[in-house]
């Protein structure tokens, strides 16, 4: 059992997952047990990297006394907008993390009061309804490209030895325009499944160059028409030791949303 905390990638799915009993949600409930299996160390913080916070410069949030969440979605049942998440103060640890970013050579802009978006809180709230540690968020910068995000993960990896559980939240196959709302759970359309097979082959082969160019994976343009949900995986890849990963969960919702989750080894 390692004193170095793991890094995770979690397919965060959709807010509507919280309205039903489904396999992805049940998997999220197991995350504290997964962490206990992987490390004897309790995190001092979670640093979430979410597909839904996109900025021109790298930004960091949560270093406030009373962090909040945002309901950054529309068209869902009213009960989803009533959900809250009590979070510990992030002031002290947030200051430590800002100092650590500087030491790692990262230029990070503080945006302390920016609320956690649903890409972060939907899965993490299910895992820790009352977390004993603060939860912070780091943005992605899509205009900087795939390799930049992979290298960002490489720089952040030192935080794993400083008590920080880094969780990248996105979705590898994520095409909202071709969702099949009535498709049964864990069924996928052919093109999405073929894309994930090509993706997983690249992961197994530790072929980072293939992963950095998802358009060249089978049906890549269709499965990842924008890179926002794919980029968090590349940050996660940089956090690992040369793509040494294990799959924690494999599952589908709505035919095109891969809810797969991975961990560093």
Task: Quick: pLDDT tens for 67-99.
Answer: 999 999 999 999 999 999 999 999 999 999 999
What domains can you pick out in the chain, each with its CATH number?
Answer: 7-168+193-264 (3.40.830.10)
Contact 79, 32 (CB under 8 A): no
**Residue-wise pLDDT tens digits, 151-183:** 999 999 999 999 999 999 999 999 988 989 889
Please compute the mean of the pLDDT values over residues 189-216 and round it to a whole number.
98
Q: Residue 34 pLDDT > 70, yes or no?
A: yes
> What is the average pLDDT score of the chain?
96
Q: Which of 81, 207, 102 is closest to 155 using CA atoms?
A: 102
Angle between helix 31-38 and 118-127 (nearest 10) = 80
**Measured distance CA(173)–CA(214) in Å, rounded:** 10
Strand locations in 154-220, DSSP E? Answer: 164-170
Contact 259, 24 (CB under 8 A): yes
Q: Which of 212, 217, 205 is closest to 244 using CA atoms?
A: 205
pLDDT interval class at 1 (50, 70, 90): low
């Amino acid at each position: 059992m390692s004193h170095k905390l793991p890094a995770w990638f979690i397919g965060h799915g959709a807010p509507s997952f919280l309205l039903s009993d489904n396999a992805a949600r049940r998997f999220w409930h197991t995350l504290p047990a997964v962490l206990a299996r992987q490390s004897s160390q309790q995190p001092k913080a979670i640093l979430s990297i979410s597909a839904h916070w996109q900025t021109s410069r790298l930004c960091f949030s949560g270093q406030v006394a009373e962090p909040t969440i945002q309901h950054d979605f529309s068209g869902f049942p009213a009960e989803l907008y009533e959900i809250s998440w009590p979070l510990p103060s992030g002031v002290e640890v947030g200051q430590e993390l800002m100092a650590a970013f500087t030491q790692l050579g990262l230029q990070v802009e503080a945006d302390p009061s920016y609320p956690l978006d649903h890409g972060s809180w939907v899965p993490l709230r299910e895992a820790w309804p009352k977390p004993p540690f603060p939860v912070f968020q780091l943005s992605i910068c899509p205009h900087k490209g795939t390799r930049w995000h992979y290298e960002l993960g490489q720089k952040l990896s030192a935080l794993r030895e400083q008590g920080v559980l880094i969780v990248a939240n996105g979705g590898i196959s994520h095409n909202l325009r071709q969702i099949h709302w009535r498709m049964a759970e864990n069924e996928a359309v052919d093109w999405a499944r073929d894309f994930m097979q090509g993706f997983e082959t690249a992961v197994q082969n530790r072929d980072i160059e293939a992963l950095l160019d998802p358009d060249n994976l089978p049906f890549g343009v269709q499965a990842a028409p924008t890179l926002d949900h794919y980029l968090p995986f590349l940050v996660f890849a940089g956090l690992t030791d040369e793509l040494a990963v294990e799959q924690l969960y494999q599952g589908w919702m709505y035919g095109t949303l891969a809810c797969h989750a991975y961990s560093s080894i």
